[in-house]
């Protein structure tokens, strides 16, 4: 299958100097100084400083077992998540702005522990799910997601989904988006510690029967990238819901699923 898509950023590997992202506009958050790994804006693109990245045992991504995050990578559920979290925060008297700013990549249980420690997280997480399910009409597949998963299956490439959402929510969003259900689906219900802890991706690799170094993670959140890296896996970060500069710790940063497909299916 030929892909006319272009890779939007170079690999950050030992002995190689990346990296230029084409056609990504910087969206640096206000406040705080630039870190040593922060990209510099130059001529409408982002340029990252040279650094050493993790190298996969497979030598590239075209043979790796693929572990996808769900929300923001394969499914656009932003409207549903924000509406559900807003409803829960208002109901519980929690700071809506803080919840919306820091929810990305966290399980509902961890979110409750962070912003409502006086409440029982195991009781509150289902309430958040109920609010998100009620606002689920806005869920849709990310452009190219179904085609990418279909092509991986056609080539016999193993893939799984590792999400911070519950099993109930994940299965609902996968079905609503019209995506195939993976053979392995790791959800927040199945791990004691969610992202950024490496446990979710380590469990995904284990259930797929693959060594961590022979997997590649596709993520869109800062905490998800950290989870994959700490699990010993290279991480392709998609700058869809998070600014590319905030994902600079990933092995590779790309703009969208077309660029991911170009890496996975050369």
Q: Which residues are catalytic?
A: 69, 71
* Contacts of 123 by beta carbon, 8 Å cutoff, 6+ apart: none
Closest CA relative to residue 248, chosen from 34, 4, 30, 65: 34
Site of tokens 């979110």:
111
Q: How many CB atoms lie within 10 A of CB 254?
A: 27
Let me know if 235 is exposed, middle or buried by CB neighbors in 10 A (0-12, 13-18, 19+): buried
Q: How many CB atoms lie within 10 A of CB 154?
A: 10
Distances 155 to 1, 150, 230, 264 between C-alpha atoms, Å? 10, 9, 29, 11
Q: How many CB atoms lie within 10 A of CB 52?
A: 10
Rounded to 5°, the CA angle 180-183-186 comes to: 100
| Three-state secondary structure call for residue 76 | strand
């Amino acid at each position: 299958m030929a892909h006319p898509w272009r890779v939007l950023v170079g690999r950050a590997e030992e002995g190689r100097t990346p990296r230029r992202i084409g056609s990504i506009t910087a969206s640096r958050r206000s406040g705080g100084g630039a870190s040593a790994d922060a990209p510099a804006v130059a001529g409408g693109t982002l340029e990252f400083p040279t650094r050493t990245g993790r190298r996969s045992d497979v030598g590239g991504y075209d043979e790796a077992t693929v572990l996808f995050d769900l929300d923001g990578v394969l499914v656009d559920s932003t409207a549903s998540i924000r509406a559900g979290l807003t409803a829960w925060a208002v109901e519980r008297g929690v700071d809506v702005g803080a919840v919306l700013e820091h929810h990305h990549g966290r399980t509902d249980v961890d979110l409750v522990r962070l912003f409502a420690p006086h409440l029982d997280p195991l009781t509150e997480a289902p309430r958040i799910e109920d609010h998100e399910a009620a606002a689920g009409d806005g869920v849709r597949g990310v452009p190219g997601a179904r085609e990418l998963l279909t092509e991986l299956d056609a080539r016999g490439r193993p893939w799984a989904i590792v999400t911070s959402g519950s099993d109930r929510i994940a299965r609902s969003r996968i079905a609503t988006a019209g995506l195939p259900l993976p053979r392995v689906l790791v959800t927040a219900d199945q791990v004691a510690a969610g992202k950024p802890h490496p446990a979710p991706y380590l469990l995904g690799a284990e259930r797929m029967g693959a060594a961590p170094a022979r997997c590649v993670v596709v993520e869109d959140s800062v905490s998800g990238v950290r989870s994959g890296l700490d699990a010993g896996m290279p991480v392709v970060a998609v700058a869809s819901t998070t600014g590319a500069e905030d994902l600079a710790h990933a092995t590779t940063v790309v703009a969208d699923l077309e660029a991911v497909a170009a890496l996975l299916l050369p």
